[in-house]
Structure 1
Amino acid sequence: FDESGNFIWLDGFIDDITEHKLIREKLLESEKKYRELVESAKSIILRWDNNGTITFINKYALELLGYTEQEVVGRNVIGTIISETDKDFEMFMSLKKDIVSCPTLLNTYEHSILKNGEKIWISWTN
């Protein structure tokens, strides 16, 4: 401002963020498509952490196994979806060990347990 209070100069910078915005929009669209694919897949899709705690399970899996999301997410996969009372537990622990040690190794485990206790055959692959 000059002595009379008139604006005479502005100091600053301007960045073109067009590319950043376009990349963000593409990422959001990609995430939306992925989420729709996972939610509409007629396959059991679930994710658990290194401790076996279920962090995500899709709608199809919930319907097939007879659970609600609140009954499964946050609980350990052992004792909910995988029985801890027989050879299922040992087979699953072997699969889990293989996945952790070599995530690219394809391994298959067949068995699961419904909420009502009924066992069904499911092919699990990492």
Structure 2
Amino acid sequence: MNPLEDYYFRINEPERSALLFLRQKIIASDTENITETLSFGLPFFKFKKKMLCYFYFSKKHRQHYISFYHGDRLDHPLLLSEGRKKFKILLIDMEEDLPLELILELIDEVKRFVR
């Protein structure tokens, strides 16, 4: 098992399936330019080899989240900065439907800042 697979394998269901679904949708949104790497022990998604977003777990909120690079330029009421300078996070509530459309829109917005 490679380190990326190991990261997801250590997460319990149903969170694992939700994150794997998001992973697949993020990569499929731009298969030519979005890649996934393991950085700092976390799955990072990169756009043209530059940071885009990553998954992590918030101990404070007890939820997984997706963190967006250039978050300081993103303006959405569901995004939290919590003192971060360049990133904002979107908490993923496993009890609710995944906000897939919103996530993909935010990724597209971040991609415009990377270019």
TM-score by shorter chain over 0.5: no
Q: Which has the higher contact order (CA 8 A, sep 6+)?
A: 2
Q: Where is the helix percentage greater, Structure 1 or Structure 2?
A: 1
**Which structure's residues are more often strand, by fraction?**
2
TM-score by length of 1: 0.29
- TM-score w.r.t. the length of structure 2 is 0.31
